[in-house]
Chain A
Amino acid sequence: MWRFLGRRFVQMLITLLLFQAVTYFLIDAQPGDIADLLTLDPNIPPAERERLRAQLGLDRPPAERFITYIGNFYRGNLGVSFQEYPRPVIDIIKERLPRTVVLFLTASILSFWTGFVTGKILAWRRGGWIEYASTITGVTLYTVFTPWFALMMIWLFAVALNWLPAGKFLDPLKWLDAPISANAVFARMIWSSFFALVIVFVGFWFSNRVPRRQRLVLRAASLLVPLVGMLLYWRLSGLGFYAWDIARHLILPVLTVTLIAYGGTMLLTRTSMLETLREDYVLTARAKGLPDKVVRDKHVARNALLPVWTGLVFSLGNSVSGGIITETIFSWPGIGLTLLNSALVADIPVAMGTLTVVGVMTLISHLIADIGYAFLDPRIRYH
């Protein structure tokens, strides 16, 4: 396993380098450069223009510039944003990346879980109107024009019902006399929810290993302890008000992304379940007289999980791309919105930086997929 990981890591680095080379030369091949932008004023003499180009290193050949860029990149220097001059690109990415990761990780896990559970049940009950209704819902959610769907969600929940804010990361009016910055509050939110989730997960993990009566107590405790802990933490720190503001802004984008990803997962689980149901061991399990629930959850669903897992990981990769759409429509200041804005104003360092981050995220999700296979299917071994 470790050798596999090591080799995989080297492969990933090579792929990333190739990816960076492709994007760098693609962007470099576009007409015009930053010197043209900085010297838009026609009164600037040509000599001065050339001096600026030399100063910025634009007169050197592209290959040399690329090597410099890569050298700087792996030393953590991604250049300086043109748009928010002199802010380093790495700062911008550090600020925006957690927001994107939180949004898509939450939505992906939620949609995967709900999609798998409902797909499982739907495959078990074939025929009738339920099948048609679920297929239509699934296909609609899967193929709906995402920007429109997001707009309809905003319209419904933010405009017509007025339950949730329409977009953005926070409400600036509430933050006028905030003791610490929004990013600090957000970091605390991430850590506290991470610990709470770990407690819930460990609790449920152990509850499967204890007798039935203790199981319920353990499960209730592992849900209640983090909940009370979270409430106490935010109450005592006095930041609860601010955390709630961010959380409120998070609900609608998460809900939208979840629903969009839900359709695909549900349909995929259903198809995969239907294929597995035809296997002989399912017939054997039924013939043994096992209860339906056990056959469904332990024999069929466990084996139907593999293609769905692939689907989840590919959708993770896609959701980074699709994130641009969702983040733009909800004005959620994550990586996707940053990429779009920087591309629109030709802020090349930021565009390159965010594009690389997106590439790294895709690579990592593919790696997670491969590791996940080994856990899900004991027959798959990596050497």
Chain B
Amino acid sequence: MAEATATTEHVYVPLWRVRLSLFWKSLRTNWAMFSENPIGLIGLGVILFFALFALAHPILMNTIWEPRVYDPISGYDMEIPFHPSPPSARHLLGTDPLGRDILSQLMYSTRYEFALGILSAVVTVVIATTIGAVSAYYGGIIDTILMRLADLVIMVPFLPILIVLSALTDVGMIELALVIGLLSGFGGTTIIIKSQALTIKVKPFIEAARVAGGSDFHIIFRHMIPNLLPISLLYMMFVVTGAIFSEAVLSYFGLTTIQMSWGIMINTTQLFGYLLRFDTWYLLIPASLAITLLCAAFYLVGRALDEVVNPRLRRR
């Protein structure tokens, strides 16, 4: 007896440490697969760049930028007689028709774009993974109802609904993120995750968990959903792209109550009639390019993750 405890003590490792080392190992192999693909690395680089860009704004505002001049919403530079002004040493990307610094606006908006994208992606994934797992696990009438609902939501034209909604009510960043998250969470993402959940449902470990006396709730949340998370993560990336794009389009049409975002910057340009003038390129191009780059970056990371997560696309 004493010998037995001694040996178990010798090899005893706490469970969390086993899990952590397993997690670390799978992270390393997945990273090795991910980093083989230059496209994914480029995407990740762009996302990191924008993250730093967003983080730099409060620092710059507190150090070298005087808030009265550089505030993204209420700033005004009185030393320049005519706004919009082209890029100069004082304003690296010029000023907008209201005399506000464009670089400051661009950086300030970045954090909201991230927040919007991530919030809607999280909402989508929580809903889609839960519904997908529940619907695959129970089947029958629950499955039918949830999948017909998904069919209906897929059919709903996304942008038109958002336009009608935001024209009739005040839609801010959080409402927008929730609506986008709900619409994509109940729609296409659910169907894809459910098809994945169906393949997990028939695996032996689910059977084993049931034999061991695990409740439905336990099986769904402890055994199925952790196995669905990789594919959920993949679809998060595509939802982020969609959310940022939708926000930009709605703000560009002037339908949101958001104070400052990349879409609002283009909207301001349009309101003041500088849209089709190439001499004031600094009003239109930075914001549009930022939207395009961030959307493309999340899309590229999604594509690269697809190759890691989806065994059919793997090269080996």
Docked Cα-Cα span, A144 to B313, in Å, equals 25
* Interface hits, A119-139 → B, CB 8 Å: 135, 139
Residue of A nearest to B248 (CB): A145
| Contact stretch, chosen from B94-102, B113-121, B153-161, B217-225 | B153-161
Interface check A258, CB cutoff 8 A: no
Contact present for A23 and B161 (CB under 8 Å): yes
Contact present for B275 and A366 (CB under 8 Å): no
Docked Cα-Cα span, A355 to B39, in Å, equals 38
Residues of A within 8 A of B296 (CB): 139-140, 143-144
Residues of B within 8 A of A31 (CB): 169
Residues of A within 8 A of B299 (CB): 139, 142-143
Interface check A241, CB cutoff 8 A: no
Contact present for A320 and B157 (CB under 8 Å): yes
Interface check A358, CB cutoff 8 A: yes
Contact present for B152 and A19 (CB under 8 Å): yes
- Contact digits for A13-41, partner B, Cβ 8 Å, 1 yes 0 no: 00100110011001100110000000000
B: interface residue count bin:
35 or more
Residues of B within 8 A of A322 (CB): 159
Contact present for B249 and A146 (CB under 8 Å): yes
Contact present for B276 and A321 (CB under 8 Å): no
B280 vs chain A, min Cβ distance (A): 12
B39, B155, B249, B292: the one within 8 Å of A362 (CB): B155
The SS class assigned to the A binding surface is helix
Contact present for B155 and A359 (CB under 8 Å): yes
A43 vs chain B, min Cβ distance (A): 26
Interface check A81, CB cutoff 8 A: no
Contact present for B163 and A151 (CB under 8 Å): no
- Contact digits for B125-166, partner A, Cβ 8 Å, 1 yes 0 no: 000000000000000000000000001100111111101110
Residues of B within 8 A of A148 (CB): 266, 284, 288-289, 291-292
Docked Cα-Cα span, A355 to B163, in Å, equals 10
| Contact stretch, chosen from A89-97, A102-110, A169-177, A340-348 | A340-348
Contact present for B276 and A147 (CB under 8 Å): no
Interface check A257, CB cutoff 8 A: no
Contact present for B295 and A143 (CB under 8 Å): yes
Given contacts A148-B284, A155-B276, A340-B253, contact A324 B159 (CB under 8 A): yes
* Interface hits, B249-307 → A, CB 8 Å: 249, 252-253, 255, 266, 275-276, 278, 284, 288-289, 291-292, 295-296, 299-300
- Contact digits for A155-172, partner B, Cβ 8 Å, 1 yes 0 no: 100011000001000000
* Interface hits, A286-318 → B, CB 8 Å: 317-318
Contact present for B252 and A147 (CB under 8 Å): yes
Given contacts A147-B252, A355-B161, contact A155 B168 (CB under 8 A): no
Residues of A within 8 A of B155 (CB): 15, 19, 317, 359, 362-363, 366
B147 vs chain A, min Cβ distance (A): 13
Interface check A78, CB cutoff 8 A: no
A27, A139, A151: the one within 8 Å of B164 (CB): A27
Docked Cα-Cα span, A146 to B255, in Å, equals 17
Docked Cα-Cα span, A26 to B161, in Å, equals 10
B215 vs chain A, min Cβ distance (A): 34
B240 vs chain A, min Cβ distance (A): 12
Interface check A351, CB cutoff 8 A: yes
Residues of A within 8 A of B161 (CB): 23, 26, 355
Interface centre among A31, A145, A166, A275 (most CB of B within 10 A): A145
Given contacts A143-B292, A143-B295, A145-B292, contact A321 B165 (CB under 8 A): no
Given contacts A18-B152, A346-B167, contact A145 B245 (CB under 8 A): yes
Docked Cα-Cα span, A349 to B131, in Å, equals 35
Interface check B312, CB cutoff 8 A: yes
Contact present for B276 and A154 (CB under 8 Å): yes
Residue of B nearest to A158 (CB): B276
Contact present for B276 and A151 (CB under 8 Å): yes
Residue of A nearest to B149 (CB): A18
Residue of A nearest to B163 (CB): A343
Interface check A339, CB cutoff 8 A: yes
Interface check B241, CB cutoff 8 A: yes
A-B contact pairs, 12 of them (CB 8 A): A147-B266, A154-B276, A155-B276, A317-B155, A339-B163, A340-B163, A343-B164, A343-B255, A344-B167, A355-B164, A358-B157, A359-B156
Seen from chain B, the residues whose Cβ lies within 8 Å of a Cβ on chain A are 39, 151-152, 155-161, 163-165, 167-169, 241, 245, 248-249, 252-253, 255, 266, 275-276, 278, 284, 288-289, 291-292, 295-296, 299-300, 312-313
Known A-B contacts: A140-B296, A151-B288, A355-B161. Give 15 more (CB < 8 A). A31-B169, A139-B39, A140-B292, A145-B288, A155-B276, A324-B163, A336-B160, A339-B164, A343-B163, A343-B168, A346-B168, A351-B164, A355-B164, A362-B157, A363-B155
